[in-house]
Amino acid sequence: MTAKTHTSKKVPIPPYPGKREKGKESLIKVAALQFEPHIGDKEHSVHEGLKLIEKAGKQGAKLMVLPELSNTGYSYNTREEALALAESVPEGPTTQEWIRMAKKYDAYLCAGITEREGNCLYNSVAVVGPEGHLGTYRKTHPWNEEKLWFEQGNLGFPVFELPFGRIGCRICYDGWFPEVTAIYAALGVDILCDSTNWVVVDPLQTFKKPTAAYTAQAQSLMYSIYTICADRIGVERDCTFIGNSCIISPIGEFVAGPASPDKPELVMAEINVVAARYRNWSELNSKFTDRRTDLYDPYLGYDPATRRRKE
Protein backbone atom coordinates (compact mmCIF):
# COMPACT_ATOMS: atom_id res chain seq x y z
CA MET A 1 0.00 0.00 0.00
CA THR A 2 1.42 3.38 -0.99
CA ALA A 3 1.57 6.06 1.66
CA LYS A 4 -0.04 9.33 0.73
CA THR A 5 1.15 12.70 1.96
CA HIS A 6 -1.09 14.85 4.12
CA THR A 7 0.25 18.41 4.11
CA SER A 8 -0.90 21.78 5.35
CA LYS A 9 -0.15 25.44 4.91
CA LYS A 10 2.32 27.07 7.26
CA VAL A 11 1.01 28.07 10.66
CA PRO A 12 0.72 31.81 11.30
CA ILE A 13 2.06 33.18 14.55
CA PRO A 14 -0.87 33.97 16.89
CA PRO A 15 -1.48 37.73 17.17
CA TYR A 16 -0.78 37.94 20.92
CA PRO A 17 1.49 39.10 22.48
CA GLY A 18 2.42 42.25 20.64
CA LYS A 19 5.95 42.20 22.04
CA ARG A 20 7.11 39.75 19.38
CA GLU A 21 9.48 41.37 16.93
CA LYS A 22 8.76 40.99 13.26
CA GLY A 23 11.02 38.46 11.60
CA LYS A 24 11.67 36.50 14.81
CA GLU A 25 10.49 33.26 13.28
CA SER A 26 11.73 29.69 13.25
CA LEU A 27 10.02 27.86 10.41
CA ILE A 28 10.64 24.15 9.96
CA LYS A 29 8.90 21.26 8.29
CA VAL A 30 7.88 18.47 10.63
CA ALA A 31 6.33 15.09 9.92
CA ALA A 32 4.42 12.26 11.58
CA LEU A 33 5.07 8.94 9.86
CA GLN A 34 2.05 6.62 9.93
CA PHE A 35 2.53 3.02 8.78
CA GLU A 36 1.99 -0.61 9.79
CA PRO A 37 4.78 -2.50 11.55
CA HIS A 38 4.43 -6.30 11.68
CA ILE A 39 4.94 -8.02 15.01
CA GLY A 40 8.17 -9.99 15.00
CA ASP A 41 9.21 -8.91 11.49
CA LYS A 42 11.84 -6.26 12.11
CA GLU A 43 13.05 -6.27 8.53
CA HIS A 44 9.60 -5.31 7.23
CA SER A 45 8.86 -2.86 10.05
CA VAL A 46 12.15 -0.97 9.79
CA HIS A 47 11.92 -0.92 5.98
CA GLU A 48 8.44 0.64 6.07
CA GLY A 49 9.67 3.35 8.39
CA LEU A 50 12.74 4.04 6.27
CA LYS A 51 10.58 4.46 3.16
CA LEU A 52 8.60 7.23 4.84
CA ILE A 53 11.74 8.81 6.29
CA GLU A 54 13.13 8.94 2.76
CA LYS A 55 9.92 10.50 1.46
CA ALA A 56 9.76 13.09 4.24
CA GLY A 57 13.46 13.89 3.92
CA LYS A 58 13.12 14.57 0.21
CA GLN A 59 10.31 17.02 1.02
CA GLY A 60 12.48 18.90 3.49
CA ALA A 61 11.23 17.58 6.85
CA LYS A 62 13.72 18.41 9.62
CA LEU A 63 11.90 16.67 12.46
CA MET A 64 10.20 13.29 11.99
CA VAL A 65 8.29 11.19 14.51
CA LEU A 66 7.74 7.44 14.11
CA PRO A 67 5.17 5.34 15.99
CA GLU A 68 5.62 3.49 19.26
CA LEU A 69 7.64 0.25 18.95
CA SER A 70 7.90 0.99 15.25
CA ASN A 71 10.72 -1.48 14.61
CA THR A 72 9.12 -4.60 16.10
CA GLY A 73 5.36 -4.32 16.26
CA TYR A 74 3.47 -3.97 19.52
CA SER A 75 1.48 -6.99 20.68
CA TYR A 76 3.92 -9.34 22.35
CA ASN A 77 2.73 -12.71 23.69
CA THR A 78 5.62 -13.38 26.04
CA ARG A 79 8.57 -11.62 27.61
CA GLU A 80 10.84 -14.06 25.78
CA GLU A 81 9.45 -12.86 22.45
CA ALA A 82 10.10 -9.25 23.44
CA LEU A 83 13.64 -10.06 24.57
CA ALA A 84 14.40 -11.76 21.28
CA LEU A 85 13.37 -8.67 19.30
CA ALA A 86 14.85 -6.02 21.58
CA GLU A 87 18.00 -4.05 20.73
CA SER A 88 20.43 -1.87 22.61
CA VAL A 89 20.29 1.85 21.90
CA PRO A 90 22.21 3.31 20.14
CA GLU A 91 24.46 0.34 19.26
CA GLY A 92 21.69 -1.79 17.74
CA PRO A 93 21.15 -2.03 13.97
CA THR A 94 17.81 -0.19 13.93
CA THR A 95 19.12 2.92 15.68
CA GLN A 96 22.17 2.86 13.43
CA GLU A 97 19.90 2.86 10.36
CA TRP A 98 17.96 5.82 11.75
CA ILE A 99 21.22 7.69 12.38
CA ARG A 100 22.28 7.03 8.81
CA MET A 101 19.04 8.53 7.49
CA ALA A 102 19.26 11.51 9.85
CA LYS A 103 22.71 12.30 8.50
CA LYS A 104 21.56 11.82 4.91
CA TYR A 105 18.76 14.37 5.25
CA ASP A 106 20.24 16.60 7.96
CA ALA A 107 17.17 15.87 10.05
CA TYR A 108 16.14 14.68 13.51
CA LEU A 109 14.14 11.54 14.25
CA CYS A 110 12.16 10.45 17.30
CA ALA A 111 11.44 6.77 16.79
CA GLY A 112 9.76 4.14 18.93
CA ILE A 113 11.86 1.06 19.65
CA THR A 114 11.93 -2.04 21.86
CA GLU A 115 15.04 -1.33 23.90
CA ARG A 116 17.12 -3.76 25.94
CA GLU A 117 19.57 -2.73 28.63
CA GLY A 118 21.04 -5.78 30.33
CA ASN A 119 18.06 -7.93 31.28
CA CYS A 120 15.67 -4.97 31.38
CA LEU A 121 13.29 -4.05 28.57
CA TYR A 122 11.96 -0.57 27.89
CA ASN A 123 9.35 0.87 25.57
CA SER A 124 11.54 3.69 24.31
CA VAL A 125 12.05 6.48 21.82
CA ALA A 126 15.49 6.91 20.32
CA VAL A 127 16.26 10.53 19.47
CA VAL A 128 18.85 10.82 16.70
CA GLY A 129 20.17 13.53 14.40
CA PRO A 130 23.04 14.31 12.05
CA GLU A 131 25.33 14.27 15.10
CA GLY A 132 24.28 10.72 15.99
CA HIS A 133 22.34 9.50 19.02
CA LEU A 134 21.21 12.44 21.15
CA GLY A 135 19.44 10.51 23.88
CA THR A 136 16.56 8.22 24.78
CA TYR A 137 13.15 8.59 26.38
CA ARG A 138 11.64 5.58 28.16
CA LYS A 139 7.87 5.34 28.55
CA THR A 140 6.82 6.55 31.97
CA HIS A 141 3.41 4.84 32.07
CA PRO A 142 3.31 1.30 30.60
CA TRP A 143 -0.13 0.34 29.32
CA ASN A 144 -1.94 -2.91 30.11
CA GLU A 145 0.19 -5.99 29.21
CA GLU A 146 3.21 -3.78 28.60
CA LYS A 147 3.65 -4.06 32.36
CA LEU A 148 4.49 -7.75 31.85
CA TRP A 149 7.39 -7.05 29.49
CA PHE A 150 8.65 -3.53 30.12
CA GLU A 151 10.10 -1.69 33.09
CA GLN A 152 8.78 1.75 33.97
CA GLY A 153 10.81 4.53 32.39
CA ASN A 154 13.74 5.64 34.53
CA LEU A 155 15.23 8.53 32.53
CA GLY A 156 12.72 11.20 33.54
CA PHE A 157 11.69 13.80 30.97
CA PRO A 158 14.77 14.72 28.93
CA VAL A 159 14.73 17.89 26.86
CA PHE A 160 16.68 17.92 23.60
CA GLU A 161 18.06 21.24 22.39
CA LEU A 162 17.91 21.15 18.58
CA PRO A 163 18.96 23.92 16.17
CA PHE A 164 15.36 25.07 15.73
CA GLY A 165 14.08 24.62 19.30
CA ARG A 166 13.54 22.33 22.26
CA ILE A 167 11.76 18.99 21.95
CA GLY A 168 10.54 16.39 24.41
CA CYS A 169 9.08 12.92 23.93
CA ARG A 170 6.04 11.12 25.21
CA ILE A 171 4.69 7.65 24.36
CA CYS A 172 0.97 6.88 23.94
CA TYR A 173 -0.49 6.27 27.44
CA ASP A 174 1.75 9.03 28.80
CA GLY A 175 -0.67 11.39 27.06
CA TRP A 176 -3.44 10.44 29.49
CA PHE A 177 -1.43 11.95 32.34
CA PRO A 178 -1.50 15.73 31.89
CA GLU A 179 1.39 16.08 34.31
CA VAL A 180 3.73 14.82 31.56
CA THR A 181 2.78 17.61 29.17
CA ALA A 182 2.75 20.17 31.99
CA ILE A 183 6.29 19.20 33.01
CA TYR A 184 7.57 19.53 29.46
CA ALA A 185 5.90 22.91 29.08
CA ALA A 186 7.44 24.08 32.34
CA LEU A 187 10.84 22.93 31.04
CA GLY A 188 10.42 25.18 28.00
CA VAL A 189 9.75 22.53 25.38
CA ASP A 190 8.45 23.89 22.07
CA ILE A 191 7.49 20.62 20.38
CA LEU A 192 6.25 17.44 22.04
CA CYS A 193 6.91 14.33 19.94
CA ASP A 194 4.36 11.62 20.70
CA SER A 195 5.23 8.16 19.39
CA THR A 196 1.98 6.33 19.90
CA ASN A 197 -0.01 3.16 19.21
CA TRP A 198 -3.57 4.32 19.81
CA VAL A 199 -5.76 1.25 19.92
CA VAL A 200 -9.49 0.52 20.01
CA VAL A 201 -10.28 -0.22 23.67
CA ASP A 202 -14.09 -0.27 23.52
CA PRO A 203 -16.14 -2.28 20.99
CA LEU A 204 -18.46 0.73 20.65
CA GLN A 205 -15.57 3.01 19.63
CA THR A 206 -15.61 4.09 16.01
CA PHE A 207 -13.09 5.80 13.78
CA LYS A 208 -15.49 8.68 13.15
CA LYS A 209 -14.38 10.54 16.26
CA PRO A 210 -10.63 10.24 16.91
CA THR A 211 -10.89 10.88 20.63
CA ALA A 212 -7.19 10.13 21.24
CA ALA A 213 -6.28 12.91 18.82
CA TYR A 214 -8.73 15.21 20.58
CA THR A 215 -7.02 14.45 23.90
CA ALA A 216 -3.68 15.49 22.41
CA GLN A 217 -5.33 18.56 20.91
CA ALA A 218 -6.69 19.64 24.29
CA GLN A 219 -3.29 19.34 25.94
CA SER A 220 -1.56 21.31 23.17
CA LEU A 221 -4.05 24.10 23.78
CA MET A 222 -3.85 23.95 27.58
CA TYR A 223 -0.06 24.06 27.65
CA SER A 224 0.60 26.14 24.50
CA ILE A 225 2.85 23.53 22.92
CA TYR A 226 3.18 21.91 19.50
CA THR A 227 2.42 18.19 19.46
CA ILE A 228 3.34 15.71 16.73
CA CYS A 229 1.44 12.43 17.15
CA ALA A 230 2.67 9.52 15.01
CA ASP A 231 0.35 6.52 15.26
CA ARG A 232 0.40 3.17 13.51
CA ILE A 233 -2.36 1.36 11.61
CA GLY A 234 -3.49 -2.22 11.14
CA VAL A 235 -4.76 -5.15 13.19
CA GLU A 236 -2.24 -7.14 15.20
CA ARG A 237 -3.18 -10.08 17.43
CA ASP A 238 -6.71 -8.75 18.01
CA CYS A 239 -5.51 -5.17 18.60
CA THR A 240 -6.95 -2.66 16.13
CA PHE A 241 -4.88 0.51 15.77
CA ILE A 242 -6.64 3.71 14.77
CA GLY A 243 -4.16 5.86 12.84
CA ASN A 244 -5.30 9.51 13.01
CA SER A 245 -1.72 10.80 13.18
CA CYS A 246 -1.69 14.58 13.47
CA ILE A 247 0.24 17.77 14.08
CA ILE A 248 -1.29 20.25 16.53
CA SER A 249 -0.43 23.91 17.12
CA PRO A 250 -0.04 25.71 20.48
CA ILE A 251 -3.51 27.21 19.97
CA GLY A 252 -5.07 23.77 19.60
CA GLU A 253 -5.48 23.61 15.83
CA PHE A 254 -4.91 20.50 13.73
CA VAL A 255 -2.41 21.97 11.28
CA ALA A 256 -2.11 18.57 9.58
CA GLY A 257 -4.31 15.53 10.07
CA PRO A 258 -5.89 13.69 11.72
CA ALA A 259 -4.83 11.15 9.12
CA SER A 260 -6.72 8.14 7.87
CA PRO A 261 -7.59 5.42 10.40
CA ASP A 262 -6.32 2.61 8.20
CA LYS A 263 -3.87 3.82 5.53
CA PRO A 264 -0.16 4.65 5.64
CA GLU A 265 0.34 8.41 5.45
CA LEU A 266 3.02 11.04 5.69
CA VAL A 267 1.51 13.85 7.76
CA MET A 268 3.51 17.05 7.27
CA ALA A 269 3.32 20.72 8.15
CA GLU A 270 5.54 23.77 8.20
CA ILE A 271 5.36 25.15 11.71
CA ASN A 272 6.54 28.31 13.40
CA VAL A 273 8.41 27.16 16.50
CA VAL A 274 8.37 30.68 17.92
CA ALA A 275 4.59 30.36 18.38
CA ALA A 276 5.23 28.04 21.33
CA ARG A 277 7.46 30.55 23.12
CA TYR A 278 4.65 32.93 24.14
CA ARG A 279 2.39 31.19 26.62
CA ASN A 280 0.45 34.16 27.93
CA TRP A 281 -3.14 34.13 26.71
CA SER A 282 -3.64 37.80 27.48
CA GLU A 283 -1.90 40.61 29.32
CA LEU A 284 -3.27 39.23 32.61
CA ASN A 285 -3.39 35.46 31.97
CA SER A 286 -0.59 32.93 32.02
CA LYS A 287 -1.01 29.18 32.44
CA PHE A 288 2.01 29.14 34.70
CA THR A 289 1.62 32.19 36.93
CA ASP A 290 -2.11 31.60 37.36
CA ARG A 291 -1.67 28.11 38.84
CA ARG A 292 -3.04 27.92 42.41
CA THR A 293 -0.37 25.60 43.78
CA ASP A 294 -1.37 26.65 47.28
CA LEU A 295 -4.59 24.70 46.70
CA TYR A 296 -3.40 21.93 44.38
CA ASP A 297 -0.54 20.61 46.49
CA PRO A 298 -2.55 19.13 49.38
CA TYR A 299 -4.92 17.38 46.96
CA LEU A 300 -2.36 16.10 44.45
CA GLY A 301 0.15 14.86 46.97
CA TYR A 302 2.94 17.27 46.12
CA ASP A 303 5.41 18.05 48.86
CA PRO A 304 4.67 21.58 50.13
CA ALA A 305 8.30 21.91 51.25
CA THR A 306 9.45 21.30 47.69
CA ARG A 307 7.05 23.97 46.44
CA ARG A 308 8.39 26.47 48.97
CA ARG A 309 11.98 25.80 47.94
CA LYS A 310 11.10 26.48 44.31
CA GLU A 311 9.50 29.76 45.26
Q: Supply the DSSP string of 31-82, one letter for each residue.
A: EEEE----TT-HHHHHHHHHHHHHHHHHTTEEEEE--TTTTT-S--S-HHHH
| Other C-beta atoms lying within 10 Å of the C-beta of residue 100 | 12
Which burial class, exposed, middle or buried, applies to 289 when counting CB atoms under 10 A from its CB (0-12, 13-18, 19+)? exposed
Cβ atoms of residues 250 and 275 within 8 Å: yes
List the one residue out of 236, 103, 114, 225 whose CA is nearest residue 168: 225
* Helices 178-186 + 211-223 axis angle, to 10: 30
Which residues are tagged catalytic?
Answer: 68, 139, 172
Q: Within a 10 A sphere around the Cβ of 69, how many other Cβ atoms? A: 31
Neighbours of 144 (CB within 10 A): 10
Tell me whether residue 194 is exposed, middle or buried, using C-beta atoms within 10 angstroms of its C-beta: 0 to 12, 13 to 18, 19 or more.
buried
Which residues on adjacent β-strands are paired with residue 199?
Answer: 241
CB 279 within 8 A of CB 38: no
| Residues sharing a CB contact under 8 Å with residue 310, sequence separation 6 or more, in sequence order | none
Element (H, E) at 195: strand 191-195
